[in-house]
Amino acid sequence: MAKTVLITGGSRGIGRATAVLFASKGWNVALSFVGNQDSAAETCAMCERTGLTGNAMARKCDVRDEGDVIALFAAARERFGGIEGVVNNAGIVAPQSTLADMDIERMKDVFDTNVLGAYLVAREAARTLHSGTAIVNVSSVAAKLGSPDEYIDYAGSKGAMDTLTVGLAKELGPKGIRVNAVRPGIIETAIHANNGRPERITELGPMCPLGRTGAPEEVAKSIFWLISSDASYVTGSILDVSGGR
């Protein structure tokens, strides 16, 4: 029987690339979106083209909403019978700003989505998963760089995700459930343009030690490995996928 991965924010970017990779490996995919239903449907179609017929479902879920998160997990279980992997991926960045210029609404939005949302998804995963399954949190190298003059709020929210990873790995280890994180660097997704900085990709890519930005598919491969049994003795780890940044 095919295994099932649940991916929050699977409609675009890293989440979409991860969904398609899991589908290509024979997994069922339950993905969520918050606003882009058409894009989520396109990800499902991509999963079906590369994997098994009927292997993908998309559901609207705002990770800030406890009821939405609980319903997402319930829908995935109902459709596919169980969940073997959770990719805690949904996240946002707000426009470039110093901390001194940030208003509270912006900071609430970032922390509600990236911290509260991520914790709610992880909590539901902890309630649902069983021995032999795994969680991957999608953090960011911003957590260690601090992102001065760009988005210290976002960097801090990802620091919380790293701490969540370390703590939850210790809580769930005795149950045989592994918890890890990836910390992407500058990855070619719409997140930069959507926050008014499309030039981030061309400006910062050459400054990475590997001299380029990363593709969402490169992050997806690391996520897949961490969830797969090939990483059976890896838990509490935070893997930088950042070209050395």
Identity of residue 137: N
If one counts every other C-beta atom within 10 angstroms of the C-beta of residue 74, the result is 13
140 binds ligand NAP (CB under 6 A): yes
Q: Which is nearer to ligand NAP, 81 or 148 (CB)?
A: 148
Minimum Å distance from CB 38 to ligand NAP? Answer: 9
Candidate residues 36, 96, 97, 163; the one interacting with ligand NAP per rule CB under 6 A: 36
Minimum Å distance from CB 73 to ligand NAP? Answer: 14
Torsion of CA 98, 162, 221, 175, to 10 degrees: -160
Candidate residues 92, 110, 136, 172; the one interacting with ligand NAP per rule CB under 6 A: 92
Q: By rule CB under 6 A, what count of residues binds ligand NAP? A: 32
For residues 119 and 117, give the distance between their C-alpha atoms in angstroms, rounded to a whole number: 5
Q: Which stretch binds ligand NAP (CB under 6 A): 6-14, 19-27, 172-180, 232-240?
A: 6-14
Site map (CB under 6 A) of ligand NAP, residues 94-133, x = contact: -------------------x---x----------------
Range 147-206, binding ligand NAP (CB under 6 A)? 184, 186-187, 189-191, 194
Candidate residues 24, 39, 163, 237; the one interacting with ligand NAP per rule CB under 6 A: 39
Minimum Å distance from CB 105 to ligand NAP? Answer: 14
Candidate residues 57, 90, 122, 181; the one interacting with ligand NAP per rule CB under 6 A: 90
Q: Which is nearer to ligand NAP, 45 or 173 (CB)?
A: 45
For residues 227 and 58, give the distance between their C-alpha atoms in angstroms, rounded to a whole number: 20
For residues 73 and 88, give the distance between their C-alpha atoms in angstroms, rounded to a whole number: 12
In Å, what is the CA distance from 14 to each residue of 105, 153, 166, 240? 26, 21, 22, 14
Decide if 233 is catalytic.
Answer: no
- The answer to whether the CB of 64 falls within 8 A of the CB of 117 is yes
Q: Which is nearer to ligand NAP, 36 or 96 (CB)?
A: 36
For residues 69 and 67, give the distance between their C-alpha atoms in angstroms, rounded to a whole number: 5
- The answer to whether the CB of 116 falls within 8 A of the CB of 64 is yes
Residues identified as active-site: 154
Interface residue list for ligand NAP (CB under 6 A) = 8-9, 11-15, 32-36, 39, 61-64, 89-92, 113, 117, 138, 140, 184, 186-187, 189-191, 194
